[in-house]
Structure 1
Amino acid sequence: MIEKMILTGTSKEIGEQHGRLGKNQIIQSLETYEKLFRDYQFISWNEAREMALHYVKAIEKYDDQLLEEMEGVAKGAGVDIEDILALNARTEIALGSYGNRQFTDGCTAIATTSPISHDTIIGQNWDWKGAQTKSLLLLEVHRKNKPVITMMTEGGIIGKIGYNSAGLGLCFNALLTDRKSNEVPIHLALRGVLNSFTLSEAISKIKDGQTAASASLLIGKSEEDGSGMVINVEVSPFGIDYVGGDKGFLVHTNHIMSPVIKKHLLDMNEYCFEDSMLRYKRAQQLINIAIKKNEKIDHEVYKKWLSDTFNAPNSINHLCNPHAEEHRQMETVFSIIMNLTKRKTFLSIGKPADGQFIEI
């Protein structure tokens, strides 16, 4: 099982610890994305580094401590700051050449809360290149005047999927679209959400076109008295919109659901109907079955949902599809369940149907 790295100190010191302790994982990330950019976007790594520099001004305005942390990561790992910037802007760089074959990671995210469950729980599978299993880091970040963050990420990337000591948790689904901006890279916006104490603060970090790329953010919050709430926000360079219902559960995969967002963007997911939409419908079906059977909605039922192999290889427990183009082949790399009410988290590395969840 993956070892948790505890990072403390100033932003620069936090980054240096990430870089030093996670150097091997950072090198793996650099190798993965250099190959993907070269083979499918026809972008050299030097070109990717130059593209990443376009985001520096927006990052400085958003939270200059994130830039300091990335400088620390570079120093600790013995690489250039441009390398770390490129990793954190890898979603935006992948959208940089619309005439070529675009790629992005996939996911199935689920959230439940009252009235269908006592606890507020969020969870997801992160589907991507199997090689990136070797890049995974479990980080616990202690930054002054911010909640403590526990986060699963790729080596070198300082914002991704996790929860914080204020009871706020975050799941992330990439959306493949035809437009982007030079605002804040989406992975750094994820960190902005995880740095937040409240839902309102989290929304303030992603509204008004602050993000350079589009994505779905499924955010849960549990208060000390046990009350909780889950929201699903689709973000874009043109603003945000809430999606999903109000029946106590939410599901998102990798296609745009908001009619507001669709007015500005074209959904470029060529496997929308045979993959993303089917995973979405299957997850909803599993939740409705559990409700009808009056099953207890807890981490055990989440394990069952996230391990579901119906319609494999394009199942919630995603298998690599040999019939898809290579740049769009992906599999479940990790699975995470966050009980925000009980402050308990369960993690499975690799496909959950083939492994086991460990409490972290």
Structure 2
Amino acid sequence: MTSLVQPHLVPLRAVRVSGATHRERGRARGTLLGEAVLRTSQAYAALFGRLGIAEADQTEAAAASLEATRAWAPETHDELQGVAEGAGVDLLDVARTVARTEILTLAQLPVPGECSTVAHVPGAGERAGGAVSAQTWDWYASFVRCWHLHRVDPVGDEVAHAGFAEHGMTGKIGLNAAGVGVHLNILQHRDDEPGGVPVHVVLARLLTGARSVQDGLEIIRSAGTTSSSVITLTGTDSVAMAELSPGRVTVLQDEGWMLHTNHFLGLDEPVRDPASTTFDRFGHLQRATASAVAPASADDLLPLVCVPPGPGSVAVLPDPAAPEHEQRATLATVRIDPGARTVRMSPGIPQHADEVCLTYQL
């Protein structure tokens, strides 16, 4: 018997974050989230331990990524310090969550990656609207209460943004007021290692600073990342999928449908988890989009990801037969329409997206 709650039944937590400086804005976030920041960090510490990562190695990797952040984005480092101060925790507790993707490169056991992203860029003769995108965010079901929705007011010449983040992070998946949206799917490469600029710091910088897809690509290329992910940048009329791996950024751009799950499309790099469902999910999205008409809005992408839950599905529900700490689930479904300046988020699988939905208008 499992004590886990279905993700779509968990109440949404939403905050508005502002401050005159990055430190003050971080402090405001930490104060609003309170004990949830430490609880999320402790959940990651426990996960890392189950994956064979010693506590000392977790701490060393988190500290190294903090230093990489200080060098690349000192204002973000200041903001993370503020988060720690506001939540009353050590900065390394915040860093453990923010650098979770980088710390996971030390795992001695397979790390799941089950996010699926679909985007559409109108071609000649298609609807007058612009590009739209959607994503399922899949992770361990035990993290169902470890994230929040947020609207973030700018500091200085930054751009306002909205979306969601895990408790302690300053950004993850969302859209900014300039009409640039970001999605994230984890990848794995044989050269991955800890200590680089956290991909979640890169996401935060994209949301506060990118005013176009091209701006976003320049920000990504400037970051010294050491883990692998694909960041999908959705603009008003274009989409770029930037595959990050140590020492390189491979950019995929096209018209029509663009899809990504958890294997490289631009590099010949094998999938490292033998149990990964990435090819099953990618195959479904290919079949679903082959006969789909151009979407009139981001909500039109929902039917493409509303696959009956089960092995290899885009929509993931916790498996009650699995040990609780191994259960995985779709924690959130996100739709982004940069032209309309809207990001819509729902807890759980896309089948429940109309039951509970929060829309931010930027």
> Could you tell me how far 1:13 is from its partner in structure 2?
0.8
1:269 to 266, 269, 273: 273
The amino acid across from 2:244 in the alignment is: V
Equivalence for 2:305 = 306
1:318 to 305, 316, 322: 316
Equivalence for 1:258 = 266
Normalised by the length of structure 1, the TM-score is 0.87
Contact 1:105 1:330 in 2 (8 A): no
Equivalence for 2:247 = 238
In the alignment, is residue 12 of structure 1 matched against residue 23 of structure 2?
yes
Secondary structure, aligned partner of 1:259: coil
CA distance in 2: counterparts of 1:276 and 1:113, whole angstroms:
23
Equivalence for 1:290 = 292
Moved more, 23-32 or 182-191: 23-32
The amino acid across from 2:182 in the alignment is: L
Q: Measured at CA, do residues 187 and 7 of structure 1 come closer, stay the same or move farther in structure 2, by a change above 3 Å?
A: same
The amino acid across from 2:150 in the alignment is: L
Contact 2:117 2:183 in 1 (8 A): yes
CA distance in 2: counterparts of 1:233 and 1:13, whole angstroms:
32
Equivalence for 1:197 = 211
Equivalence for 1:50 = 60
Q: Measured at CA, do residues 134 and 24 of structure 1 come closer, stay the same or move farther in structure 2, by a change above 3 Å?
A: farther
Once the two structures are superposed, residues 223-255 of structure 1 have per-residue CA deviations (whole angstroms, 9 ceiling, x without a partner) of xxxxx11111101112111236x2322110011
Q: Which one scores higher on RCO, CA 8 angstroms, separation ≥ 6?
A: 2
In the alignment, is residue 206 of structure 1 matched against residue 217 of structure 2?
no
Q: Unaligned regions of 5+ residues in structure 1, if any?
A: 223-227
CA distance in 2: counterparts of 1:174 and 1:35, whole angstroms:
20
2:346 to 326, 338, 348: 348
Moved more, 315-324 or 120-129: 315-324
How many residue pairs end up in the alignment?
341
The amino acid across from 1:267 in the alignment is: V
The amino acid across from 2:330 in the alignment is: T
> Could you tell me how far 1:70 is from its partner in structure 2?
0.6
Equivalence for 1:65 = 75
In the alignment, is residue 85 of structure 1 matched against residue 57 of structure 2?
no
Once the two structures are superposed, residues 198-247 of structure 1 have per-residue CA deviations (whole angstroms, 9 ceiling, x without a partner) of 2222112222672121101111112xxxxx11111101112111236x23
Contact 1:92 1:213 in 2 (8 A): yes
Once the two structures are superposed, residues 110-161 of structure 1 have per-residue CA deviations (whole angstroms, 9 ceiling, x without a partner) of 1112125523211101001122221111122222211112131100012311
> Could you tell me how far 1:102 is from its partner in structure 2?
3.7
CA distance in 2: counterparts of 1:328 and 1:213, whole angstroms:
23
Equivalence for 2:359 = 359
Secondary structure, aligned partner of 1:308: coil
RMSD: 2.2
> Could you tell me how far 1:27 is from its partner in structure 2?
2.9
Equivalence for 2:235 = 221
CA distance in 1: counterparts of 2:138 and 2:162, whole angstroms:
20
Secondary structure, aligned partner of 2:196: coil
> Could you tell me how far 1:34 is from its partner in structure 2?
1.4
Q: Measured at CA, do residues 249 and 324 of structure 1 come closer, stay the same or move farther in structure 2, by a change above 3 Å?
A: farther
2:130 to 108, 119, 125: 119
Secondary structure, aligned partner of 1:134: coil
> Could you tell me how far 1:170 is from its partner in structure 2?
0.5
Once the two structures are superposed, residues 247-285 of structure 1 have per-residue CA deviations (whole angstroms, 9 ceiling, x without a partner) of 32211001111226x3xxx5323234xx11111121122
Identical aligned residues as a percent: 23
CA distance in 1: counterparts of 2:264 and 2:319, whole angstroms:
22
Equivalence for 2:6 = none
> Could you tell me how far 1:358 is from its partner in structure 2?
3.8
CA distance in 2: counterparts of 1:49 and 1:149, whole angstroms:
30
Q: Measured at CA, do residues 102 and 72 of structure 1 come closer, stay the same or move farther in structure 2, by a change above 3 Å?
A: farther
Normalised by the length of structure 2, the TM-score is 0.87
Equivalence for 1:129 = 140
Q: Unaligned regions of 5+ residues in structure 2, if any?
A: 1-11
- After superposition, where does 1:135-214 map in structure 2 within 5 Å? 135-141=146-152, 142-181=154-193, 182-194=195-207, 195-207=209-221, 210-214=224-228
Contact 1:313 1:320 in 2 (8 A): no
Once the two structures are superposed, residues 316-356 of structure 1 have per-residue CA deviations (whole angstroms, 9 ceiling, x without a partner) of 11223467787764210001101111112221112222352
Secondary structure, aligned partner of 1:94: helix
The amino acid across from 2:359 in the alignment is: E
Contact 1:319 1:330 in 2 (8 A): yes
